[in-house]
Chains A and B, each alone.
Chain A
Amino acid sequence: MSFNPIYHHTEAQLEEELRWIEAAKLNPEAFRPLYEKYYKAIFSYLYQRMSSKDTAFDTTSQVFLKALTNLKTYEFRGVPFSSWLYRIAHNEMVQVFRKQKEQRVVNADINDLKFICEENKEVFFEEYIPYLKKIIGKLKEKELQLVEMRYFEKRPFKEIAEILNISEINAKVRMYRIIEKLKVSIRKINV
């Protein structure tokens, strides 16, 4: 899995980030470094899951506005600030889907699908693509989130766990169950 420099922090970086947060709690102008640091990551997260580029940009603005509004309630829990932003982003996205009847989108690369088959120790044939789309489409939202983060966004388990506010072990167990489920479905393609 890839290493995300925006997400992974040294203790000193975490400290610096916390100082920005404490300063931003007193003065909204001091929020700028956090905005600059995370804008792209939050937009990419939303655009990965939305069909319209403009809606993704609008939702990104909403996420940061909400973060700034609720910054006083933010408490440091040993994880990067981005985890908190991702959770706001997810909630905002769900609201957009509900209000605007926007379509939930899954964006994947053909190599990602190949990777799923390989992880499940199955041979990948291009003819499988429609079936794989169907299998992924049948996953529950929570399962889909995990698959997207793990396979399509290549996030490590630690990061996934922090974004979903669960333990790393829990994330691995959930992923394992999804893999088992996928295995069964993929084998059915073969038969």
Chain B
Amino acid sequence: MSLQFNLNRPPIGDDEINKRKDFDQLVKSFKEQSLKKAQGDESWWKNKKIRYTAVIAGVTVVCTITYLSLFQNNNTKTQNKSHETVITPQKQSNKTSGFVSSPSPKLSTGYSKYTVNAAQGGKINHPSSTKISIPKNALVNKVGKQLVGEVTIEYKEMHDLGDVILNGIPMQYDSAGKAYCLETAGMFDIRAYQNGEQVFIKPGEEIKVELASIKTQDKFNQYFLDTVKRNWVYLKRDDLAKVYPAQQADPKTSSAKSESLKREIDIIIPGKIDSVQKNYARTIAFLPKPSEPLKPEKSTGKRPEFVIDADTKDFPELAAYENTVFEVGTENNNYSKELHEITWSDVQLLPGPNKGKNYILQLSYRGQTQKLVVYPVLKGADYKKAEAIYDTKFQTYLSLLETRQAKEKQLMKELQLKQQQYLSDQKRKQEELDKEQLRLKIELQQNQSRQMLAGFNGTAEQNKVNRIFSIAQFGIYNSDCPHPVPSSNSIRPVFIVQGKGNLIIPERVYLIDYVSQTVMNYNGFTNPLSIPMDDDKNYAFCVFRSGKVFFCDQTQVKTSRLANSREFKVKALPDNLEHPADFKKFLQL
């Protein structure tokens, strides 16, 4: 590609640039392009083979469906005659839809699965001490037909704010147009399947769920989450019962050994590597550095010269040879013979563009100044004498340089050897740490599982109650106390990663209120994202973006709010969080 060089090309004016702007045309082109692309995607249909195959496949499917539906109708008719318990289809749904979706599926609580005989009913004892009672013949399929055989019950519980966040449960509650946020005393999600098909509760029947709860107050109501209307539905005042025993667990996340190894790997060894490198760099820098002697230049005899008594303090290199004169360089277009005829009032020698090789000779007289690029040269015998001096000096310089290079090489070799030793030591310690961390991880997971299954181990017996639900449809139920959402002070938060300074636009934002024990969730892409906050409450933000979790603790939130700032510094939680308990620990829950 050839290159064209333009000097001082006139710029294009703003008016012309603005005139050429055409956003509507851009959108039009974009739409046309999208349309063309879509048509391109359909081009496979033009392939005859694919078209015929699709038509044949379609006909086959239609025939099969027709045949099967006829066959099933006959079957249903026969069965209707033999069973009198056929009922009308229910309008309930136990699909939670996108309204309830976990911001971090890997951390969300999984469902426990139980098998119950639909005809005989059964009792389920969940590890948290919750009891589920299913009456006999209480389950039906989607067309309302009573079920026989085994049915899988899927069940999970959520007890605190961490569970609420990780399971993506919306806690906003609209009651007659007034916004509330619900404080939970315990929540559960129950659903049932038979051969992969959804199962429903027979109208008139109820499943009893005695939900174990660590909150003992009597201020809670029961709610059902209507995922179609996207709101909680008030059921009744809560019904309290019975106390449960507690169990013990002692999870450990690190050991003295792992801490010591981490310190060695992250601080001590890198410090040693850094220190040894600095020491050697210093030693190398202090090695005697020979300076190359300046080569004498012979006068051409054809260029005009100036004889100047230059100050060797300013230019020590000029002291090497005697009787140096200054030859005017060919690049001086301003030189004329007359310059030699003027008696200059001031003559100065300044460093030239090519340091050590040339100089600027500044000649001044009555406000007139001339600058010439001059070269130091020697004539005849002086040059020969200088050449001999230079040869001797240059030989000395070379031998000094060689000694220095050899010493430098030796020091570098020593440094590399020491660094390798430290690195292999670091590697060995890392392997040891990996083993220790794996051992701790296994121990921790075992402890956490034990803790989760045992249910609320840290809580004393007298602080545990049962909240009794009688449910007529599967879904999410909650024992809640509504708190009003602040209606006045709203802020538009901006989240910045602590240390890195990166701004993040979150997918989900959770505002945790530690005073009323509530959590509000917001779609981070809402524009503008406006979050109501009270002045007197302790809030924290939990933010999710691209599978990563960020947290802005109470102190940070308070600091920003006191400074009247809408910027909140968030800290990224480690990527390796695998257990809900880890997450809750970080959120101080």
Contacts and interface: CB of A to CB of B under 8 A. Distances in A.
B31 interface: yes
B355 to A, nearest CB: 8
Interface string B26-57: 11011101100000000000000000000000
B354 A15 contact: no
B20 A109 contact: no
Contacts of B22: 61
A106 B373 contact: no
Contacts of B6: 51, 105-108
B527 interface: yes
Contacts of B357: 191
A36 B3 contact: no
Contact of B5 (A18, A108, A190): A108
Nearest to A57: B20
B48 to A, nearest CB: 32
A39 B33 contact: no
B503 A137 contact: no
Interface in A53-107: 53, 57, 60-61, 64-65, 68-69, 76, 78, 97, 103-107
A190 B27 CA distance: 55
Given A61-B26, A97-B1, A122-B353, A22 B31 contact: no
B505 interface: yes
Contact of A22 (B34, B527, B567): B527
Given A11-B494, A78-B500, A65 B3 contact: no
B4 A68 contact: no
Given A51-B4, A61-B26, A76 B505 contact: yes
Interface in B487-530: 494, 496, 500-505, 525, 527-528
Contact of B331 (A14, A110, A125, A129): A125
B358 interface: yes
B2 interface: yes
A76 B7 CA distance: 38
Contacts of A1: none
Interface string B1-18: 111111111001010010
B19 to A, nearest CB: 10
A110 B5 contact: no
Given A11-B494, A39-B17, A51-B4, A18 B9 contact: no
Contacts of A109: 7-8
Given A23-B527, A51-B4, A104-B2, A190 B23 contact: no
A8 interface: no
Given A47-B12, A127-B333, A14 B503 contact: yes
A78 B503 contact: yes
Interface string A22-38: 11000011011001100
Q: Which of A11, A40, A109 has the most CB of B within 10 A?
A: A11
Contacts, number: 118
B21 interface: yes
Contacts of B528: 19
A106 B2 contact: no
B503 A187 contact: no
A16 B505 CA distance: 10
Contacts of B9: 107
Interface size range on B against A: 35 or more
A11 B23 contact: no
A168 B255 CA distance: 40
Contact of A11 (B17, B329, B503): B503
Nearest to B5: A133
Given A35-B26, A190-B331, A104 B33 contact: no
B26 A65 contact: yes
A68 B26 contact: yes
A18 B526 CA distance: 12
A104 B17 contact: no
Nearest to A126: B333
A47 B17 CA distance: 11
A103 B502 contact: no
A43 interface: yes
Interface of B: 1-9, 12, 14, 17, 20-23, 25-27, 29-31, 33-34, 329, 331, 333, 353-354, 357-358, 360, 373, 494, 496, 500-505, 525, 527-528, 567
The 10 closest A-B pairs by CB, nearest first: A78-B502, A133-B5, A18-B505, A107-B6, A137-B3, A123-B353, A122-B353, A19-B527, A105-B4, A68-B30
Given A65-B26, A113-B7, A190-B373, 20 more contacts: A11-B503, A15-B494, A19-B505, A22-B525, A28-B27, A40-B17, A43-B12, A64-B26, A78-B501, A104-B1, A106-B4, A106-B5, A106-B6, A108-B5, A108-B6, A110-B7, A121-B353, A123-B360, A187-B353, A191-B357
6 contacts: A29-B27, A103-B2, A105-B6, A107-B6, A113-B7, A125-B333
